[in-house]
Structure 1
Amino acid sequence: MFSKHGSCSLSNVFRRGIGRPQLHRFHGANNVNVSPSISVNVETEGRGIELYDPEGRKHMIHSIWLRERTNNAEKIHAESRQRLFDVSDYVSSDGDIASGSRISDVSLTGSDLSVEYADGSSDCFDLKCILAELQDPNTLPTFISGKRGAFPMSLSTPKPHLWGSDLSGHFSIDMATHEHDEIVNSQGKMADFLNDLFRYGTALVKGTPTDRDVYERFLLKFGLLRDTNWGKWFQVMATSNKADSESDDGVSVADAAFTNLGIPFHTDGPYNRNPLQHQLLQCIKQSKQGGESQLSDGFAAARALQLHYPKQFDILTKTKLRFRYYDDNVDMFTVRPMIVTDDGGAINSVYYSGRVDASPSFENIEKATEFYYAKKLFTEHINEATRQISFKLEENDMLIFDNCRVLHGRSAFQDVEKEKQTASNPVESPSEKDHTTNNQVVDGVKLDSVSRFLRGCYMDSIDIRLRKYNRVLSATSRSYSTTTARVGFVQLDECTENDMEIISDLYSTATTGEKLAERSLALLKMLGSGSIDNPCHVDDGHLGANVDLLEHGLQTATRAFRDGQEDEVVVAALLHDIGELLSPSNHGEFAASLLRPFVSPKVSWMLQHHEVFQMYYYNHKMNPPGDRNIREVYKGTEDGKSTCAGVTVPGESYQFTVDFCEKYDQKSFDPNYSSM
C-alpha cells in the first residue's frame, strides 16, 4: 500500500524544485497512434502512395505533397526551416508530375515512412506527423513547424461550447473564471484561460492590477492592443444620462455606452472593415445598484436559427447590411451580413447592432418582409433565457469576450448624484457601502465623481498566442523515450537555437515531478528481493540483515508517516539508503544530493550525515571498537549553530538527525513489522 502513498508524496516533493511550471496535457497531433495495421503502397504510375490508416481509411498522397514536407538537409534551410526549392520544379511542362519525382519505392519501418523517387533521391518521414495532417486539415505541416523533427501543430481552436439547453448546454461565467496571479506565472494556466476564451467565447480574470502599465504588460502576454477611433484605451463611465465622453487620445465621442442607461445586446464596432475581435472591460469602480454585465452567445443563437428556421438563417447569411459610425473625426462604413459563415457552412462571425446598422434596398416588399421576419426570429433566439448570462463585475475583475461571437449589454445603473443620495440613507446595508478611497484618481478620473468606471480596450491576435501556449503544452506532453524529435548537431558547438529548443522542451518533459518520482522508485525497487513484480533487483540487497534495503526504506518511511511527519521527511526516509550499493562510502551524500533541490536544509543535512549518526548504535561493537559518539563533532555551539566543511548548520538539524535515527532508521530491520 505504501507505494501509492509514496508515489504521491514523491511527486509532490519533487515538484517543489522544478524550475519550469508544470503544464497540463494538450491533446494535439503528437497523440496520433501508429498502428501496426497501417499499410502503404506505391500508386500504379508512381504519382503517389496509397496509405491505409489505423481505422482502415484509404488516403492517396501525392508525391509532390511529400516533396513539400521533406526534411532533407540539402532541401531545407537549417535555421529558418524554409524550402530551398520551388515545388513547381517537380511539375513537367505538360502539367503532369516530372518523371524524376515519381515514386519508385515506399516502405514502413516502425514510425519511419521511407520514400524513394525515380531521380534517386529519398525522404524519410515520421508517420505520426503524416497521419496528423491527414486527420486534421488545420494541422500545420511539420516542415514549417520551426524546428527539426517537431510534431505538426494543429491550428484549430477549441470547439465552441454553444450556450443553451437545446445545444451544448448550460454555461455560467464561473466555468471560465481564472485568477490573474495564476495566469501571469504559469504558461499552463495561461493556456487554460485562452482555451476557455475560445471554447465559451468569454472568460473572466479576477485580481487584475489597477496600474495601467502593469495591466498592459499582462495583456501583452496573450494578444496585441488595437487602436480604434476611441483610442487604444477607452473609459466606460457616466455621471449622468448625457451621452458625452472622451477617449484617452482626446477624441470626442457620443455613444449610449457612456451613459448610465441600460444597453441591449449588440456587437461593438461592426462598421470597422477589420472587425474588432476581442473586447476587454476591467472594472475599476462598480455602481452600488444596477450595472450588471449581460452576455448572449451569438453563435448559439445563429445555430439554433439554422436548425429550426433554415430558410431564415440563409436569408441573414446572404443579406448584407450597411454599418456606419461617424463623428467630428471619423466616418466609418462597411457592408457585411449579420451572420457570416465559412466555406464549409460553419458559423464564423455574428454582427448584431440595432444602433448602427441599415438594411439594404430590397427588390420587392416580399423580400424585405422575409428579411425582417428572419431578423426578428434571430433576435428572439439571442434573447432566449438559456442563451444568456448576467453577472456583476467586481473591482479588479477583467471580462474578455469574442466580439464577433458574444453579444454584450448591461442593465441601467444609478448616476453619481443619486448614489450620493443613497449613500446618506441610514438603512443602507453594509455590503452596499462604497469602499473606494475618497479622491482616488485612476487614468485621470476622480473615482468619487463617477458611479461606475470600466477601463476598456480591444485586442487582436489572441489566437496566435493561444497556438504558442498550446505548442508548449504539446511539446511537454510528448513521451521522452519515444519522440522522434532529434537535433542536427554531432558536436555541441554546432548546435542551433532550434536544436536547443528541442532539447529544452524534451528536458522539461523528462524532468517533471512525476517522472523523477518514477525513476527514484525504480531505483529503490532494485534494492529489494526478486519477484514476478520486481524482476530487476540486486542479489545482495539484504547485506546479512533480516530485511532487504527496499523493506528497510519502506519501514523507515512508514514509521515517519505514522508519526505524522511531513511529506518531505517521509520521502527522505524512503530514499535515505538508496545509494547504499552505488556509493557505499558516502551514500548519505548520494541521497542528500538527490533530494537537496526539493527538501528543506534540515532534511538535506540529515540525509547527508545520517550514516555517521547511525554509528551511535553499532560502532562500539565493531572489531576493533569505534567511537559511538563520533556524531558529536557536529554538535552545535552555545548559539545553537556549528560550522562543518564550511557550511553553517542550524542547531535544530543535529537533534532532528538524532531523532530520525532513533525513532525511524535504527528500528527498521524487523521482518515482522507491517510496513505500508
Structure 2
Amino acid sequence: MSVPNPYWLRDNCPCTECRDPRSGQKRFQINDLPDDLAATEATEDATGLTVLWSDGHRSHYPAGRDGAEEDGDHRTEHAKHLWQAADWARGLPEADWAAYLADPEEQIAVLAAVRRSGFVVLRGVPVAEGEVLAVARSFGYVRETNYGELFDVRVEAGATNLAFTDVAIAPHTDNPYRDPVPTLQLLHCLANEAVGGDSGLVDGFRAAALLRDQDPAAFDLLTRTPVPFRYRDRSADLTAEKPLIGLDPRGAIREVRFNNRSVSTLRGPVGAELDAFYAAYRAFAAITLRPELQLEFRLGPGDCLIFDNTRLLHARTAFEQAGRRHLQGCYADLDSLSSTLSVLRRNTAALDELEALFEGEGAAEYLGEAVTMAEHMLQAGALARAAGAPPALVAAALLHDVGHFHGSGLELMAGADNRHGETAAAWLSRYFPAAVTEPVRLHVEAKRYLCTAEPDYVDRLSPASVHTLALQGGPLTPEQAAAFAALPFGADAVTVRRWDEAAKDPAAPTPSFAEFRPLLLELMR
C-alpha cells in the first residue's frame, strides 16, 4: 500500500525510541533522518498501520490516529459558541466556587465554558481582598503587569485610567497596547452598592463574524491594517501595533483588539485608504454596540467573572459614587487554562478507563484466589485507607495489580512471569508521581524481600502467591535484600505488599472504585 510523505509519517512515529513516553517530545531532529528515507514495507490491519523504513526502523501507527494534534490551540472561532445576549436569557454560565474546588468534573465544566463561550461567573468566592488571585491560580498563573499582580477597580482621585472613575465604559478589550496581550481577565466583586455600575459583555468574535458576512471588504481591511495602541503614565509607556481583528494562518478569527481609548495616531494609510479604514472601523464599532449583542448583568459580592480578553469586549454602566463599588481584578492566560482543562480531561479519561477495567476484566478470578481481581485491589486500597496511609500509598495499594489486566495474570499462572509491577508502573507513570508508581513497580520485589527478611513470611503466603514466587525469581539473596531495603521507595513497597497479601478475603467489605476517584484525581494534578 502507498504511504503519505515519508518524512511527515516518520516525523510522527509514536514509538518510545522516537518520542519520550511521558512528554511526547521527539528524541530526534528532522535532519537526523536519511536523505533517501523511504517505506520499504507497509501493512495495515485492525490495529493500525505498520511501516518498515529503509533505515531499518519500524513504526506502528494505531488505528484512528492521523498524527494531527486535536483541535489546534483552541483559540480561533471554530468550535466556539458565538453568542448574542438572548442566548443567556435562562441564565449565565456559572458555578459555585466551593463545588468548583471540590469536584474536577465541575472544574472541567467551568474551564470549558470559558473556552467555548468566552466567560463564566463563579459564585460564592470569599469576599476578601486578594481572593481573585486564588481563582486565577486554581487553573493557571497570574499575569503581572504595570498595574501589579492585582488591581482595584474603584473610584480613585486623579485616576489615569477611565476604569478607575465612575463614568460609563464602552465595550472594549483590555491592554491592547501590550504584546502579548493578557488573554484572560478576572474581576471579583467585593462590594456593589452603587446605583448603576452594571457589567456588560459583547462577543467580539460574533461581532467580527457579522462584519465579515455583511461587509467582507471592511472585514478584510480590519484584519490587515496595523493599528497603533498606546498607554502611558508616570511609570509606564506601552505600545503595540496590531490589527483590530487578528486571524490565524488559515483565515479564522483568532483575536479582537478593540479599545478606542488606546488607539494612537494611525500611520500608513492615506487618502481613500484612510477613508476606507475609518469607515470599516466605525462599521465594526457600530456592530459591537447593537443592543442584541450587549449582555448586561450585575455582579454581587462574591461573584468572580472570568473572561477571554482576546475575544470578549467588556463594558460598564456609569454609577453614582454615593454607593460603594469595589472590584479587584487580575490577568491570566488562556494557555494555562487550556492546559489545565486538557490535563483534567485526560486524567478523567484515564480514570474512566481504569474504572471500566475494574468493572470488566476485574470481575474475573484473581490467580486462583477466593476473590476477583477487582475485589483484591479494592480491598488493598481499603486497607491502606483504614490504616491512615498517605494518599499516594492508598493509590499504590489500590492500583498495584493493574498490570494483570488484559489477560497478563493468566500468563503468570501459566508459568510465565508477566512483570506486572513494571507494566503497571509504566502505564501509571503517565498520570501519577513516583510516590505512587514506585511502590507499584517494586511490590513484587517486596514479596521476594520479605521472604528473605522474615523467614516465616513464606508460610503466610497463599498457595497462589507461593506458586508465583518461584516464577518471579524466588527469595532475594541477602545482598539483594540489603540493596532493596536501601531503595527510596523500598519501605513503601513492603507496606503495599503486606496489604496485597491481606486483601484476599471473600467476606471482607469491598468499596467501589468510585470512592477512590477524588483521591486519585487529586494525585494526578
TM-score (normalizing by structure 1): 0.52
One-letter amino acid matched to 1:357? V
Contact kept? 1:209, 1:215, Cα under 8 Å: no
How far apart, in 2, do the equivalents of 1:474 and 1:155 lie? 20
Q: 1:499 aligns with which of 427, 440, 446?
A: 427
CA distance in 1, matches of 2:57, 2:199: 63
The equivalent of 1:653 in structure 2 is none
Measured at CA, do residues 281 and 78 of structure 1 come closer, stay the same or move farther in structure 2, by a change above 3 Å? closer
**Pairwise CA distance, 1:212:** 4.7
Distance in structure 1 (CA, Å) of the matches to 2:172 and 2:512 = 58
Contact 1:162 1:300 in 2 (8 A): yes
Rounded to whole Å, the distance in 2 between the matches of 1:374 and 1:395 is 40
Per the alignment, residue 478 of structure 2 pairs with none
Residue 392 of structure 2 is matched in structure 1 by none
Could you tell me how far 1:175 is from its partner in structure 2?
Answer: 3.8
The structure-2 alpha-carbon separation of the partners of 1:77 and 1:411, relative to structure 1 and needing over 3 Å to count, comes to closer
Residues 1:281 and 2:187 are matched in the alignment: yes
Amino acid at match of 2:314: H
Which of 221, 228, 234 is the matching residue for 2:138? Answer: 221
Match of 1:117 among 37, 49, 53: 53
2:209 aligned residue: 303
- Partners of 1:201 and 1:402 within 8 A in 2: yes
Specify the code of the residue in structure 2 equivalent to 1:103: A
Structure 1 residue 359: Cα displacement: 4.3
Residue 343 of structure 1 deviates from its aligned partner by 1.2
Residue 364 (str. 1) matches residue 270 (str. 2): yes
Query: What is the CA-CA distance between 1:261 and the residue it aligns to?
Result: 1.4
What secondary structure sits across from 2:187 in the alignment? strand
- 1:467 equivalent to 2:410? Answer no
174-183 or 207-216, which moves further after superposition?
Answer: 207-216
Q: What is aligned with 1:207?
A: 124
Q: CA 1:155–1:348 in structure 2 vs 1: closer, same or farther (change >3 Å)?
A: closer
The equivalent of 2:436 in structure 1 is none
Secondary structure in 1 matching 2:176: coil
1:280-429 superposed matches below 5 A: 280-361=186-267, 363-416=269-322, 419=323
Structure 1 residue identity aligned to 2:110: F
Shift in CA distance, 81/498, structure 1 to aligned 2, threshold 3 Å = farther
Instruction: Describe the shift of the 1:456–1:173 C-alpha distance in structure 2 as closer, same or farther (beyond 3 A).
Output: farther
Q: Distance in 2 between matches of 1:362 and 1:218?
A: 42
Q: CA deviation at 1:211?
A: 3.9
Question: What corresponds to 1:104 in structure 2?
Answer: 40
1:593 and 2:466 equivalent?
A: no
Q: Which runs of 5+ in 2 are unaligned?
A: 362-402, 409-416, 434-504, 516-525
CA 1:62–1:400 in structure 2 vs 1: closer, same or farther (change >3 Å)?
same
Per the alignment, do residues 271 and 491 of structure 1 end up closer, same or farther by CA in structure 2, a change over 3 Å counting? same
Counterpart Cα distance in 1 of 2:101 and 2:245: 35
Mapped contact 1:204–1:399 kept (Cα < 8 A): yes
Map 1:120-199 to 2 at 5 A.
Answer: 120-130=56-66, 133=67, 137-139=68-70, 155-156=73-74, 159-164=79-84, 170-171=87-88, 174-199=91-116
Amino acid at match of 2:140: G
Alpha carbons of 1:347 and 1:598: their partners in 2 closer, same or farther (altered >3 Å)?
closer
Mapped to 2, the partners of 1:414 and 1:503 lie a distance apart of 52
Q: Distance in 2 between matches of 1:173 and 1:331?
A: 43
Partner of 1:453: 326
Q: Which region of structure 1 is more displaced relative to structure 2, 284-293 or 459-468?
A: 459-468
Q: Deviations over 1:491-532 (max 9, x none)?
A: 356468653245879xxxxxxxxxxxxxxxxxxxxxxxxxxx
- Higher helix share goes to which structure? 2
Whole-Å separation in 2 of the counterparts to 1:227 and 1:385: 34
C-alpha contact (below 8 Å) 2:228/2:263 kept by paired residues: yes
Q: Are positions 1:90 and 2:18 aligned together?
A: no
CA–CA distance in 1 between the matches of 2:514 and 2:25? 43
- C-alpha distance in 1, partners of 2:269/2:28? 53
CA contact (8 A) 1:324 1:333 kept: yes
> 2 CA distance for matches of 1:187 and 1:412?
38
Indicate if the aligned counterparts of 1:287 and 1:414 stay in contact, CA closer than 8 A: no
1:202 and 1:402 in contact (8 A); partners too? yes
Larger C-alpha radius of gyration, 1 or 2? 1
**Aligned-residue offset at 1:85:** 3.4
- Matches of 2:26 and 2:171, distance apart in 1: 49
Quote the offset at 1:227 in angstroms.
0.8
Q: Which amino acid aligns with 1:229?
A: N
State whether structure 2 residue 5 is matched by structure 1 residue 69.
no
Q: Judging changes above 3 Å, is the alpha-carbon distance between structure 1 residues 262 and 243 closer, same or farther for their aligned structure 2 residues? A: farther
Q: Give the aligned residue type for 2:13.
A: T
Q: Is the 8 A contact 1:203 1:399 kept in 2?
A: yes
1:372–1:292 Cα change, 3 Å? same
TM-superposition CA deviations, 1:607-654 (whole Å, max 9, x none): xxxxxxxxxxxxxxxxxxxxxxxxxxxxxxxxxxxxxxxxxxxxxxxx
Partner SS state of residue 456, structure 1: strand
- 1:334 CA drift (Å): 1.2
1:100-148, Cα deviation, whole Å (9 max, x unpaired) = x422222233223222234444222211223xx4xxx442xxxxxxxxx
Q: Deviations over 1:437-474 (max 9, x none)?
A: xxxxxxxxxxxxxx100011011232222222232244
Residue type of the alignment partner of 1:69:
N
Query: Residues 316 and 374 of structure 1 are in contact (CA less than 8 Å); yes or no, is this contact kept in structure 2?
Result: yes
Cα displacement (A) at 1:76: 4.5
Q: Is the 8 A contact 2:40 2:52 kept in 1?
A: yes
1:215-265 per-residue CA deviation (whole Å, 9 max, x = no partner) reads 5344212121011111111001127xx443xxxxxxxxx111111111111
1:510-567 Cα deviation digits (max 9, x unpaired): xxxxxxxxxxxxxxxxxxxxxxxxxxxxxxxxxxxxxxxxxxxxxxxxxxxxxxxxxx
Instruction: Provide the rounded CA distance (Å) in 2 between the counterparts of 1:84 and 1:597.
Output: 37
* Distance across 1 between alignment mates of 2:173 and 2:131: 28
* Structure 2 residue matching 1:104: 3-state secondary structure: strand
Whether the 8 Å CA contact 1:79–1:496 is kept in 2: the answer is no
The two structures, once aligned, show a CA RMSD in angstroms of 3.4
Q: Secondary structure at the match of 1:303?
A: helix
Q: Distance in 2 between matches of 1:595 and 1:173?
A: 40
Going from structure 1 to structure 2, the CA distance change for 1:291 and 1:214 (only over 3 Å counts) comes to closer
Structure 1 residues 112, 490: CA separation in 2 closer, same or farther (over 3 Å shift)? farther
Does the CA contact (< 8 Å) of 1:287 and 1:413 recur in 2? no
CA contact (8 A) 1:279 1:459 kept: yes
In structure 2, the residue matched to 1:668 is: none
Residues 173, 204 of structure 1: 8 Å contact kept: no
Deviations 1:379-398 (A, max 9, x none): 11101122110011011000
Structure 1's 296 and 218: CA in aligned 2 closer, same or farther, altered over 3 A?
Answer: closer
- 3-state DSSP class of the match of 1:415? coil
Task: Structure 1 unaligned segments of length 5 or more: list them.
Answer: 1-40, 44-48, 50-60, 93-97, 140-152, 245-253, 420-450, 506-588, 600-676
